[in-house]
Amino acid sequence: MNKELSSTTLMYSILSVEEGVNVQKNYLESGEILEDEIEYEEEILGDLEQALMELIDVYKVRCKHDPELPSIEELLSDFEE
């Protein structure tokens, strides 16, 4: 079995985790969280942001080897539109 992720899988992973970061930020800003749960929810946000940074680092390396891939900026901006 090939252990390397396809570029498509990597792109969708980045977009999914980016969406998770945005959802978690909105949730934290909503004021709906009980005070004793805020720290836990902030840890989740930190973990999601770390995962996103790691995926982006892998993607940037992939882009160097495959110039046909969209830049990370293009990938994320296309998703936001």
In a domain, 61, yes or no: yes
In a domain, 70, yes or no: yes
Whole-angstrom distance, CA of residue 20 vs CA of residue 52? 9
pLDDT at 2: 59
Asked if residues 41 and 28 have their Cβ atoms less than 8 Å apart, the reply is yes
pLDDT at 15: 96
* Structural domains of the chain, count: 1
Whole-angstrom distance, CA of residue 75 vs CA of residue 30? 27
pLDDT, mean of residues 5-33: 95
For all residues of the chain together, what is the average pLDDT?
A: 92
In a domain, 76, yes or no: yes
pLDDT, mean of residues 44-71: 96
> Any residues with CB less than 8 A from the CB of 10 and at least 6 apart, and which?
55, 58, 59, 62
Token couple for 28? 């934290």
Domain that holds residue 44: 8-80
In a domain, 26, yes or no: yes
Residue 80 predicted with pLDDT over 80: no
Residue 81 predicted with pLDDT over 60: no
In a domain, 1, yes or no: no
Residue 1 predicted with pLDDT over 60: no
In a domain, 42, yes or no: yes
pLDDT at 53: 97
pLDDT at 4: 84
In a domain, 71, yes or no: yes
> Any residues with CB less than 8 A from the CB of 33 and at least 6 apart, and which?
27, 41
